[in-house]
Amino acid sequence: MSRTAARRDALRATAAERGLDAVLVTNLLNVRYLTGFTGSNGALLVRTDGGDLFGTDGRYTTQAGTQVPDVELLVDRTTVPALAGEAVRRGTGRLGYESHDLTVDGLRALERVLADAAAGSTVAELVSVRRAVEAQRAVKDDEEIESLRRACAVADRALAELAAEGALRPGRTELQVGRELDARMLALGAEAPSFETIVAAGANSAIPHHRPDTTELRAGDFLKLDFGATVDGYHSDMTRTLVLGHAADWQREIYDLVAASQAAGRAALAVGADVVAVDSAARDVIVAAGHGEHFTHGLGHGVGLEIHEAPGIGQLGAGSLAAGMAVTVEPGVYLPGHGGVRIEDTLIVTDDEPELLTLTSKELLVL
Amino acid sequence: MSRTAARRDALRATAAERGLDAVLVTNLLNVRYLTGFTGSNGALLVRTDGGDLFGTDGRYTTQAGTQVPDVELLVDRTTVPALAGEAVRRGTGRLGYESHDLTVDGLRALERVLADAAAGSTVAELVSVRRAVEAQRAVKDDEEIESLRRACAVADRALAELAAEGALRPGRTELQVGRELDARMLALGAEAPSFETIVAAGANSAIPHHRPDTTELRAGDFLKLDFGATVDGYHSDMTRTLVLGHAADWQREIYDLVAASQAAGRAALAVGADVVAVDSAARDVIVAAGHGEHFTHGLGHGVGLEIHEAPGIGQLGAGSLAAGMAVTVEPGVYLPGHGGVRIEDTLIVTDDEPELLTLTSKELLVL
């Protein structure tokens, strides 16, 4: 059985538990996860009794045949309402849908289809499945973990090459470095950067999500790089903070503090660990050093087909970790106007030690 | 007055015409268009009586201050419901919202806020504004047109450089060429490719939206390149079809046919022209040559902050062209199993001749 068929079966089991006859999946990343389809328009009907149906429009007939060979195909310009109509014709009573994804207009269109179909024998009812597929996606299977490993390896290697070639030197601009990092990741096989690459030099490193600009790298400054590569649709996420030239005492001090916090966060990644407790494990180190107010964001997040997905790891999170979850651990200390340090890895939670996917050294690199 | 302030005033006039007290804009590209904000979470309340409000969360406080200095800021984790609550507190009765963008869950959250607020003096009513902002976006202002010119220039130059360097030669793969084109566009200042670059060699050129794979370029084959660059968030879109080595008669024949069709389509771009008639002007040329069934898609589409936006130019389209619209003209003839040709430009509709933004030659390039 293919990975995607196994994922559809898992969703089928969820649907059965909830007393649904079928689930209409409209979120395009959820559709990709459950079918392998990478086009820009597709939806999936997973039926509790089997006999699933994949819908797309005429542009993607060939691609659907190649990427989704094991699901019956429905080609229709309207796609989602067409699938709903077919669901009703095949006897669906309670139809699950994704209320966090479907727009108000989309729901109206479904309601019209069901009202028309109600002229027949079956009256269908729409029930939100909430984030059932996202919850499933939080735990990665072997194939997904392999894609994440490759995505992280591309980012590792891109940074190593740039550092080895002397591309990270005083006088260059944040934008130049960011573009080279992006280009190098593409050359190494990334489909795209995972997100807008952050290159933050000097005082800009104190801005958690600084957009690269024409600021020049200078000797003695921090250089914070937060970036990732997308491979097979899966995102890597890594932050490293370097010093150019010579590290001052205050720089070493906050670097060592963030590194200790990050190590504590990684050590707390265990099956069953509460996400709030994981955040606290790392945060307490920074708070104890008197820098609590300078760590202004959550510790980490799940990563996969989206750069931010379940689980959220922070004081406002809920739930606990499971084996196979892919998460980031990324504490930071930001001193406004001076500079900041963030150290971030992507890891897989396992029954044993977490598997580290971003392998670039976390020793303070002085270039 | 800034461009974004003028755009907000235009939306304000639409809201007043429709008897709304305010419009809550949630579509992130519409928010960007109306404010200049480029973060990943933001919404805008445009009030008929003025006193607009921009909402985002704490991550973007600084960025909002820089990018949206002229709109009052509301920082709140819930952003959209928070703006709606504030709208009611400021006396909004009829509140427009974007039913094509807001999710079902998002609407429920708004309804809860309004029900709570109804305990006070004002009872607010939610009214869909449909695609009011997208309709406004279809006509570009000077600043947007300048961004589109730059985006098209990057794509032109990237292709010229690759061709000059001999990168488009037999033995190379589609994937290699696609990645080099992407990297070159980034190096030339693009923020990103406009979409997944299409490189289609030989028989693959007959697939309208082929994904680049390890197929090698071969002498005597067509090479179809459909790509674009994003600059300031604006997308360029261009297709050129080349021949490697020597062009056979059948290749010249369909190339000349598509070129004639494309010229007819460009010539039909005029203020007031019906989009169906524009499509027909180009399509009739191909139909008359007996290849109607091999032109399987619409003639073109609007382009701007999205790669596909209003107006659609095709037999299923509706409406007419206006000065300042940015559109593509991209007929194609695809002979399954043999090869295909598409020629596509991005142009601006004007009161005079359309302005051509993609300047790469449309002579059949034999490399």
B197 neighbors B180 (Cβ within 8 angstroms): no
Share of chain A above pLDDT 70, in %: 98
* Per-residue model confidence (pLDDT) at position B116: 80
pLDDT range class, residue A206, cuts 50, 70, 90: very high
Residues 6+ apart with CB under 8 A from B323: B139, B271, B349, B350, B351
pLDDT for B126 beyond 70: yes
Q: At what angle do helices A28-35 and A3-17 cross, to 10 degrees?
A: 120
- A198 and A227 Cβ atoms separated by less than 8 Å: yes
Q: What is the per-residue pLDDT for A84? A: 94
Residue B49 DSSP SS3: coil
CA distances from residue A224 to A139, A260, A327, B191 in whole angstroms, order as listed: 30, 18, 20, 20
Kindly tell me if the per-residue pLDDT of B328 is higher than 80: yes
- Whole-model pTM: value is 0.89
Percent of chain B beyond pLDDT 90?
89
The alpha carbon of residue B124 and the mean position of all alpha carbons in its chain are separated, in whole angstroms, by 34
pLDDT tens-place string over residues A122-161: 568 999 999 999 999 999 999 999 999 999 999 999 999 9
Q: Name the strand (E) or helix (H) holding A229.
A: strand A229-231
How far is it, in rounded angstroms, from Cα A233 to Cα A137?
Answer: 13
Instruction: Output phi, psi for B268, to 5 deg.
Output: -85, -5
Mean pLDDT in residue range A254-270: 98
pLDDT digits (tens, 9 = 90+) for B185-201: 988 999 999 999 999 99
Instruction: Dump pLDDT digits (tens) for A238-251.
Output: 999 999 989 999 99
Q: List the one residue out of B167, B191, B166, B171 whose CA is nearest residue B179.
A: B167
Chain B contact for A183 (CB, 8 A cutoff): yes
pLDDT for the residue A62: 85
Instruction: Return the pLDDT at B120.
Output: 58
Q: Fold for domain A138-356?
A: Creatine Amidinohydrolase (3.90.230)
- Find chain A residues with C-beta within 8 A of B208's C-beta: 59
The CATH 3.40.350.10 domain(s) of chain A lie at 3-136
In this complex, which of A179, A193, A196 lies closest to B187 when CB atoms are compared? A179
Tell if the CB–CB gap between A102 and B101 is shorter than 8 Å.
no
Nearest-Cα distance to chain A for B115, in Å, is 18
Specify burial of residue B297 (Cβ count, 10 A radius: 0-12, 13-18, 19+).
middle
* CA-based nearest residue in chain A for residue B38: A211
- In chain A, residues with a C-beta closer than 8 Å to the C-beta of B78 are none
Nearest beta carbon to residue B183 from set A62, A128, A187: A187
pLDDT digits (tens, 9 = 90+) for B2-46: 999 999 999 999 999 999 999 999 999 999 999 999 999 999 999
Q: How far is B350 from chain A (nearest CA, A)?
A: 31
| Number of CB pairs, chain A paired with chain B, less than 8 A apart | 65
What is the per-residue DSSP string for B159-191?
HHHHHHTT-S-TT-BHHHHHHHHHHHHHHTT-S
- Nearest by CB to residue A186, choosing from B99, B183, B209, is B183
Element (H or E) spanning A33, and its range? Answer: helix A28-35
From A350's Cα to the closest Cα of chain B, the distance in A is 31
Average pLDDT, integer, range A29-48? 97
The residue type found at A304 is G
CA atoms within 13 A on the CB side of A176: 13
Query: In this predicted structure, what is the pLDDT of residue A118?
Result: 63
Which strand ranges, in their side-by-side order, compose the sheet holding A345-348?
A309-313, A300-302, A326-329, A345-348, A355-356
**Interchain contact, A103 vs B104, CB within 8 Å:** yes
Query: In whole angstroms, what is the distance from residue A152 CA to residue B143 CA?
Result: 39
Which amino acid, A63? Q
Question: What beta strand segments (E) does B114-233 contain?
Answer: 125-128, 192-193, 198-201, 222-227, 229-231
Tokens matching residue A89: 């014709």
pLDDT in tens, A70-119: 999 999 999 999 999 999 999 899 999 999 999 999 999 999 988 887 66
Closest chain A CA to residue B98: A104
| Closest-approach residue (CA) in chain A for B57 | A297
Is residue B108 less than 8 Å (CB to CB) from chain A?
Answer: yes
Residues of chain A contacting B206 with CB distance shorter than 8 Å: none
Residues of B in contact with A209 (CB under 8 A): 59, 63
Phi and psi dihedrals of B299, rounded to 5?
-75, -35
What average pLDDT score do residues A47-71 get? 93
Q: What's the CA dihedral at A31, A33, A38, A44 to 10 degrees?
A: -20
Q: Mean pLDDT throughout B180-186?
A: 92
Q: Do residues A294 and A342 touch, judged by C-beta distance below 8 A?
A: no
**Digit-coded pLDDT (tens) for B77-125:** 999 999 999 999 998 999 999 999 999 999 999 999 888 876 655 568 9
* A247 to chain B, closest Cα gap in Å: 28
Judge if the upstream peptide bond of residue A81 is cis by omega within 30 degrees of 0: no
CB contact under 8 A, A103 and B101: yes
The reply to whether omega before A336 is within 30° of 0 (cis) is no
Q: What is the CATH number of domain B3-136?
A: 3.40.350.10
Q: Which of B150, B151, B121, B139 is nearest to B349 (CA)?
A: B139
Reported as a pLDDT band with limits 50, 70 and 90, residue B232 is: very high
Yes or no, beta carbons of A192 and B192 under 8 Å apart: yes
Q: Give the model confidence (pLDDT) of A173-203 as tens digits.
A: 999 999 999 989 988 999 899 999 999 999 9
3-class SS of residue A13: helix
Please give the helix or strand (H or E) that residue B7 lies within, else none: helix B3-17
Residue with tokens 């689930």: A23
Chain B residues with CB under 8 Å of A208 CB are: 59
Neighbour-count burial for B13-25, b at 16+ CB within 10 Å, e otherwise: ebbeeeebbbbbb
pLDDT of residue B109: 95
Residues of chain B with CATH 3.90.230.10: 138-356
Give B133→chain A minimum CA distance, Å: 16
CA A169 to chain CA mean position, Å: 31
Distance (Å) from the alpha carbon of B73 to chain A's nearest alpha carbon: 19
Q: What is the mean pLDDT of chain B?
A: 95
